[in-house]
Structure 1
Amino acid sequence: MQKMKKLKSSLNGDIMFDILSRLPVKPLLGMKRVSRGWRAMISSFPFIKSQMEKTGLSLTGFIFQEKFQWCSDDIKTVSHIALDSQSSKKVLHNVFDFLPEYVVILASCDGLVCCRSCFPCSDPSVYLCNPSNKEWIRIQWPWHKLNLLR
């Protein structure tokens, strides 16, 4: 009897796993609140890997920029950790060296990164860039002077 319960629970989990891993990410974030079991499953590495395979997404690495509590200045170094099997799993620094100046990361979405000039600078700008092909556009930031006057 105990074996039947385990088998039934396992089958239900497999079916739920398969169904949920086909859903887009945004609804899944809300579904993590359904139960502890769902949260554990949706947060698990096998689930995330399965969902990425089914949706055709691939994770190539992480871009990050540190910020130290004791330092109020902008940190100029933007780093990257590659996840592909050919890389030697080392941290690469200054991955935005294709931009005309040092930047601070503001946000990212679908591989595009929005960043701004490091302060202090005389002519601050906002950049929208794609680090994979090193394409970028510069957006003038004329309203920064209004913020300085307040």
Structure 2
Amino acid sequence: MLAFEDHRWGELQHAYGRAANVPRLLRELRLATSPRNGYQEEPWYSLWSSLCHQGDVYTASYAAVPHIVKIATETRTPIDSSFFQLPAAIEVARRTGHGPEIPTECGEDYHRAVANLGEIVSLHRNEAWDQSMLLSAMAAQAIAKGHVDVAEAMLNLDSDLIAKINRLEFN
């Protein structure tokens, strides 16, 4: 896992260029693990917009995932759904051709973190989950087991689509 002080962060890319600011965002995340009140709360807003921008991912996305998973693993209080959702969305984007190859120095840690998403779901299973958290956890579990299509479906579900499915409205 790339240390926060590693100079290679400046060589990695995110949606807005060099990713030298990502370690600062990840440090902030260690202090802001609780569920958000709105989608624009930091540091999640900046992490999402730079690491998974409009469905595209970047080399810095792969370096950040192990840190996100580690923070969620170490947190014993309720966590935000993005701890499940962002790594799952990054892996879906990667597997569906919306990102570059994983840098060699990030590959092993990235793949281990993705596989450990199921562990995070288990660690936080006794917390109260709203629908967004449940869908995010299901997406993370699907990704951890290699079911990219199921994870993508979970990430795209919302209350309206669930209602249509339940009414068997497929037009």
Structure 2 length normalisation: TM-score?
0.23
Higher-strand-fraction structure: 1
Larger Rg: 1
Higher relative contact order (CA 8 A, sep 6+): 2
Structure 1 length normalisation: TM-score?
0.25
